Amino acid sequence: MLLADRVAIITGGAKGIGKGIALKFAREGCAVVIADIDLKNATETLAQAINKGGRGIALGCDALDDKQVRATVDKAISHFDKVDILVNNAGGMPAAPTPIEDMPEADWDKVLTLNLKSLFLFSRAVVPHMKSRKYGRIINLSSAAAVNPPAHAIHYHTAKMGVIGFTLDLAHTLAPFNICVNVLLPGPVRTDFYDTMLGKLTEKEKDVFFDELGKGDIPLQRAGTPEDVANAALFLASELSSYVTGDALLVSGGSPLRPVHTPIQKTLDR
């Protein structure tokens, strides 16, 4: 039980990677606050966590609305007396990307806001509480595509690189308060994230797509699963990583086979 007696807020925790993290944390003894605009699926995810012996609450929350974000954090603290862990998972790409010369300004604004603003709002709401307790773990979700774009999706890749910059700044600022801030860079993970790009494929056709994707581009020869990312998140949320902050961890099956050069890595490379 690596997270016994811990409390975590997981944004976008109703489905996909967020759901995988919520279920993993619950199995490890953590009380999970599943915050998602999709309350129905958040409630179903919570029910699965409780069925496995976990505990928590599901809260409807638009992660881009400051009032709702603050209300979510307040409810979490009111219910569990504290927040130890924040997983900033909410984000995505709501439509298939277009070339930069054809991209509407509104699409650019929407994707950057979707992937960056929630990090700011939730971190701003949680950090004062973590500072007062001199303890915290903040885990942000970026993408391996931020450092090795597989296709032209400039708004999404720019936003996900911004998540890395946000992480490095916050990690440096909060380190004196025993608050560790790290970022995960998942590679291709089979979730509904791909639905806008794949269209109305059957499950069998999706099986073929992800099988070919894994064998074509990923050294470990398979696409990832939400649990793969959840395992890495568990490491960063637990005391196993108590001396790790400001790190960018690839969870991508070996792709790309090159390091993400954070400042400390650049120093070591000299």
Domain ranges of the chain: 7-192+225-269
pLDDT tens series, the chain, 270 aa? 999 999 999 999 999 999 999 999 999 999 999 999 999 999 999 999 999 899 999 999 999 999 999 999 999 999 999 999 999 999 988 777 889 999 999 999 999 999 999 999 999 999 999 999 999 999 999 998 888 887 888 999 999 999 999 999 999 999 999 999 999 999 888 766 566 665 677 777 666 666 766 677 788 888 889 999 999 999 999 999 999 999 999 998 887 755 444 444 444 444
Among the listed residues 135, 156, 194, 243, the single catalytic one is 156
Which phi and psi angles does 172 have, rounded to 5°?
A: -65, -45
Residue 260: the pLDDT is 46
Neighbours of 150 (CB within 10 A): 15
Q: What single-letter amino acid sits at 78? A: S
Asked whether 52 and 27 are in contact (CB, 8 A), the reply is: yes
Q: Could you confirm whether domain 7-192+225-269 is CATH 3.40.50.720?
A: yes
Selection from 104, 84, 82 nearest residue 95 by Cα: 104
Q: CA 104, CA 112: separation in Å to the nearest integer? A: 13
Q: Is the bond into 256 cis (omega within 30 degrees of 0)?
A: yes
Q: 12 is written with which tokens? A: 């976008």
Q: How far apart are CA 140 and CA 89, in angstroms?
A: 6
User: Catalytic annotation on 194?
Assistant: no
